[in-house]
A and B are shown apart, each in its own frame.
Chain A
Amino acid sequence: MEHAVVGRNIPRVEGPAKVTGACLYTADLIRRDALWGGFVRSPYPHARIAGIDASRALALSGVRAVITGKDIPMLLYGLAVRDKPVLARDVVRYVGEKVAAVAAVDEAALEEALALIRVEYEELPAVFDPLEALRAGAPVIHPDYRSYEMAGIEVRGTSATTDIVGSFFGPFNMEPGRHNVQSLWRIGKGELEQGFAESDHIFEHSFSTQIVHQAFLEPRACVVEIDREGRVDITCSNQSSFTVRKGLARYAGIAEDRIRVHPVAVGGSFGGKEGYEEVLATYDLARACGLPVKIVEHYAEELMDGEPRHAAVVKVRTGVKKDGRFWAWDGKVFYNGGAYAARTPFIANMNGTLRLAGGYRTPHVRIESFVIYTNQLPTGYFRAPGEVQTLFGVESHVDMMADALGRDRLELRLQNVVRPGDTLPSGEPLRDPSGVEVLERIAEVSGWGHARPAASRPHLAAGRGLAFGHRHIGAGETNVELFVEADGSLRLVVSVRDQGVGANTMHQQVTAEIMGTSPDRIRIDVRGTDGPYDEGVRAGRGVHIEGRAVGHAASAMIELLRRKAAAHWKVPFEDTAWQNAGVHHTGSAKRLGLQDMARLFRDEPLRTGGHFKAGKSDYYDFQAIIADVEVDQETGEIRVRQLYYVLDVTAVINPMLHQGQIEGGIIQGLGHTLMEQLVIEDGRVVNLHLGDYRIPTMGDVPPLSISLVKSKEGPGIFNAKSVAEVGISIVAPAIANAVCDATGVRIRDLPLTAEKILNGLRALQAR
C-alpha cells in the first residue's frame, strides 16, 4: 500500500525549539528560591559507617539541611530488585555511594558543607572481580539478600520453550556455595551433552568486555517542590514519568495522584536514566527544608555513580559437525552488576543473554547468565543491554571457528543462520527471519570474497571483518488520546518524553497517515503524569508499542466521526466512508470535513483513546556489518577505513530519523570498541571527566554505507520494525575480526587499544 506521509522525511516536531535553545531541560528550570542539593559520597568500596558528624556543615549560614540514612524511610529502593538504600545506612558498598544529602542556598555553600561533613568508616574486605565474587570465601556483599523483594515487574520475554530455572532473582540464587548472585537466568533447548557427544569438533573461547557509560551530555538532574498541602511537583531527567511517580508514592507513602512529574526534554538517556534515586533523596531534602530543592549532578558524579553498562566475562563452547553445522552450544556470561541490583530494570538480568548463542540454528543449546554483586558502582541498562557483551564473544568466536575449520567466515554464517521454521537458540519462536537476505546483501555491497582493501602504506596492514546479529523488538505499554480541536485541527496527547529518537514526530506522522491529513494539522501535546499512562521509553519499542497505540486512537477517531456524520445525515453507518480527512456519504455527494465536524459537533467531545500493551514480539531485526580497517604494525593503531551496514526493514516511518538511529548506534559501538572504558582501580573510577573518558568525536567517525533489506512483516504500526537498538552490538566483533584478518592478532577483551594490538603483534613475532 502506498503511504502519503509515512516514509517521508517530515521535520521533527521539536526541531525549532532545539535549534534555538528554547527547548527546556531539567536544569533549565530556574527557581530563584530553589535550594541546591548535593551528596556526600563514600571514598571506600566496602566499609561500615561508624559515625557521621555534620555539625560543622550545619553551622554554616548557607546550609538548610543535612540528612543521612537514619533520617529517611527504611524502605529499600530498586527498579527490579529492592536492595539499595537511597542513602547508605550502616554499610557502604562502592566508592561514590551516597552517604548524606545536603541542601544549601547556593553552590558555594553546598560545596563547603559537603567538604565539612565528617564520616567515620571501618573498612571491610572488598571484591571487584565477578568470578572471584562467586567463589566461596568471597566477602558476601548482601548478607540480607533473602529478605529483598522484587519490585513487582512481571517477568517477560520468555516463551514456553525457554526453561527459566527458578526465578531471575531470589532464593534460587542462594544455593549453597553460590555467592553474591544478583540474578541467574538459564535458557535453552535440546540435549546439550548429547549434542556435544554428536559433534566432530568442539571450540571453546572466552572474552571480556569493559564497563562503559552512556555518556549522554546531560548529567542527571531534578527539581522537587512540595506545596503546603503536600502535593509534590517533580521535574527530572528520566525515561519514565510514571515510574518515578509510582516509586516516590511508595517511598513517601503518599497517593500517586498527589505527585506530578513534568514532561521536560531529556538530554539523552540510552537506557541510563531509568533510575530515580536522586529524586527520592531530593524529596527528603525538600521536605526537611520546606523549600524546593534542585540537584544538578556534576559529570564526575554521573561517571562514578550512574547506571553504566555491565562489564562481562563471556564463555562460549560450541560443538560443530564435520560439514560445519553448529550442533551444540554452551554459553555462559558473567555480568558485573556492581554493588546493587537496584538500577537494573525488569528482571535484574539482561535480554542480551538471549544472544549468547547468536542467530544460528543450533539444535542443542544452553545459555546461563549470572549477574553478580561486586564492590563497584551499580550498573544498569545501556542501549541493547547485555547484548554488546554477548555478541562480541559470539561473533568473534564464530570467526575463530571458521578459521579453524578453514571455512569462509560469511559462508559458515550463512550455513548456520536461522531460517523460517527455526526457533531461536533460546527456544523462543521466530517469525519471518531475514538473516539469509541480510548476509547475502552485505556480501554484495562490500564485494565480499572479491576485492579486498589493500594497505595504503607499507607499515599498515589491511583487513576486513564481519559480524552478524539479530535484535528483539521492544515491549511495553502506552496510552494516547486524540482530539479534534475547535478549528478542525487534531491534537494528540502522549506521555512519551522524546529522549532524542524522534518519537513525537513518528506519532504525528502515523496520525497524519491514518487520518489522511497533513502532519502540520496535528499538534503533539506531550504530557507528564497528568497525561495518559505510559510505562516508559526503552528497548526500541516506539513503532511497536507507541505506533500501535496511536494507530488505535486514529482509527477509533475515524469510526467516531463516521458514526456522528451518519447520525447527522440519518444514514446507515455502513453508507459512510473516510476519505481525504473527511466523512463521505457513499449514496450522495455529502461530505463533512474535519472543520465542518468540529463546528457541527462543537458541543460533543470529539475524543478517542488508544492503548497498546505487548510483550516481546516473535519478530526480530536482522543486521550485519563489515569493517575495513588498517592496522599500523609499528604502533598497533587501528584506522577504520569503511563500515558497511545492512539492516532488514519493513515500513520506515521517517527515513531520516531511522538513519539517525542506525548512525548513532554504530558510532556508540565504535566508541565501545576503540576507546571507551570506565577505568576502575580498587573499586574507584579514576577517569572522572570527559577529557579522560573519551567518546568519539566528529574527527573519528569513518565513512558508513547503509543498505536496507526489505522484509515482509513486523509487529509495529504499518508493519514497521524497531531501529533504536540496532548497530551498536556488532561493531566491536566486526572490528576485532578485521584486526585479526589484518594482523593475525585476536583481541578478546574490549576495548581494542593500540597497545593490546602491538603486544599481540610482538607475541606473534616471538613465535
Chain B
Amino acid sequence: MAPFDIAVIALILMFAPVILAPCCAGSRSLAIHLSFTMTAAASIAAVIAGILAVQHGVNTTAIVDMGLPDLPFHLRLDPLAGFFLCVIGLLAFFVSIYSIGYVKGFSANRSIVRFVIFYSLFIVGMFLVVLADDAFFFLVAWELMAASSYFLVMYEDEKAENRRAAYLYLVIAHVGAIAILLSFGVMAGLANGFESFQGYTFASMRATTYPLGWATAAFFLSFFGFAAKAGVIPLHVWLPEAHPVAPSNVSALMSGVMLKASIYGIIRITFDFLKVYPWWWGGIVLSLGLVSAVLGVLYALMQHDLKRLLAYHSVENIGIILIGLGLAMLFTSFHLPVLAALALIAALYHTLNHAMFKGLLFMGAGAVLHATHERNMEEMGGLIHKMPWTAVFFLIGCVSIAALPPFNGFVSEWLTFQAFLLSPALHRPILSLLIPLGAALLALTGALAAACFVKAFGVTFLGHWRGHASIQAVKEVDWHMRIGMLLAAITCFSLGIFPTVVINWMDILAEKLVGGKIATTAGKFGWMWLTPYAHERASYSSFNVFIGILSVVLVTYLLLHAKRTAIRRVPAWDCGFARTTSRMQYNATSFSMPIRRIFGPLFHIREESEAIQPVRHPAYPEKLRYRLRVRDRFWTWLYEPIGNVAFFVARLVGNLQQGRIQVYLIYSFVTIIVLLVFLG
C-alpha cells in the first residue's frame, strides 16, 4: 500500500472520533476508550506513512474537490511532509494512549465529547498542515489547528487565567496567520496563473523564481507568522500562558508538535519555495534563535510552576532548532551544500528529539498534576517514593532535554555544535569570528538547561514533601499513562543510541532541500560511529558511551557487592544539625537564586520581605514573609505599550462618533466639498 494511502487512512481514522464520540456520549468510558484508541491507531498509520515516505522519497500528490471550485484542496506527500507526519504521529500515538488514563481523571461535569472532538480536530489539523499543497488549504489547516487548540486551552473555561491565556494565544496566532497569508499572497502574485487561481498552488510557487525584494518580503512575512506560532522571542508570551493551563496531554501535543508545524512552514518556504537568498537572512534567523534559546532557558529557570517551566523550555528548544536552520541558510547562501545539510539535519533531528522528550516531560508533569492536583513545585517533593515509574520516565526526559549523552537531546545539540565549528568555512572573516560566539551561547544554554532540570526533578521528586495536603493521598498513575510515558522514554533513548540509523533515514531530506548529503557512515564500524562531516573531523559513538558506562558500573557494582554488605538506614546527618524540617529544604525559588542574582537585569524582579511578627531581635525575627515576583520583561517592553497605543487610538477614533447630528452632517458636507475639490 502506498504511503499516501496510509496517510489518508490516518486522516480518516483521526477524524472519525469527531462523529463517533457524540454517538456514544452516553457512556463516558466507552467514549474515551473508543476515541483514543482510534486516534492512537490513526497516529501509528501516520507514522508508517511518514517513515515510508521518507524511506522511498515518494512524492505523491492528490486533489480533493473541495474548497473553491477553481482552487480545490491540493495534497502532497513528499519526504519533508513525511518526516513531520512521522514526528506528529509518533507523539500523538504516545499521547493518545496516555490520554485514556488522563482524561478519565477529568471531573465528571466536564464534557468528554467536547474534548475528544477538538482533540481529534487538532491532530487532523496538524496532519493537514504538513500535507497541504496549496496556500488556501494550508491556511485552512493551519487555522483549524489553531482554533481547535484554542478550544482545548479554553477547556476549563471557568478559570479566568485559562480564558486570558486562550485569548492571548488566539490573537497572536491569528495575526501570525494573516502574515503568512500575505506572504503566500506575495508568492502567488509572482507565480504564473495568479488570475486563474493557479498561482496559489505550491507547485507553481515552487516553480517560480522571485526577485530579491519580493522574496525578502515573503520570507519575513512568513517568518513572522511562523515565529509567532513557534513562540520565538519576542513573540513567545502566549506560550507560557497557554501551555500550563491546557490539559497536560494537550500541552504535550502543543509543545511537542504544534510548534514544529511552524518549523515545517519555515523550512518549506525557505528551502523549497524561495531557494536562493542573501546570507543575512540566515544571520537574522540564527541570532533570533540564539536569543530565544538563552532567554528561554533563563526565564524557565525562574519558574516554579512545573508546566510553565516546561513551556519556557519549548521557547529555548525552538531557539536551538532555529539556530540549526539559520546555520543551514547561511551555508546555503555561501553554496556549501554539505555543511548546510549538516546544519539542517541537526535542526530536523532536534525537532524530532524535542517532540519526544518535551512530550514525555509534559506527560510526566501531567501525571504529577493528576496525582497531586498541583502545578506549583513549591508544594511538591519526594514524589519519587510515591510515583517511582513517573519519576524514572521524567528523569529520562530531563536527561534527554539537558543534552546529556547517551540520550537523544545530546546528539542533535552535538550536531549543532559541529555545524557551528564548521563556520570558518564561510568566506566572511567577520562571520567566522562571530558565529563561534553563538556556539558559546549554545553551550551556556545547555548548561543552564541542565541546571534547570536538576531543579525541576530535584524539587519535584526528591527531598521531602513540601505540600500542605498530605502526601498519603498521592498515588502512582494508571498503566495507560505509564505506557504512554514509557514508550516516549524508550524512543528518547533509542534516538540517542542509534542516531546514525535515523540520520541515514532522513539524509534524503537534506539532499532534496539543500542538495547535500552528510556521510554519516564514514566511521570505522558503520552505524556505531556518528561522524557527520569527516572521520577525523569529529566523531561520537553514543553506543560506546552507553556500553562503556554500563559495563564499568556493572563491574564496580558486582565487585563491591561480592559479599553481602548491610546498609544501615539512619536519619540524615546534615553536619549534625538537628530537627531539619521539610521547609528547610532548598526549593525552586532558592535553587535558582544565584542565577537570578547573576542574570538579574534580564528579569523584571520584584522582591520584598518583611518581619510580620513582633521581633525580639532584628537579626532573629519570629516569622518572615517573603514575596518574589519575576516577570517576563517583554510584557513591559512590548505588549503593554501596544495595548496602550491601541486603546489610545480607539479613544481618538471614538471622538468621531460624538452624538450631535449637525456634526455628522458636517462630515458628509466636508466629504462632498473635499471630493469635489480634488476630483470635480
**A and B bound?**
no
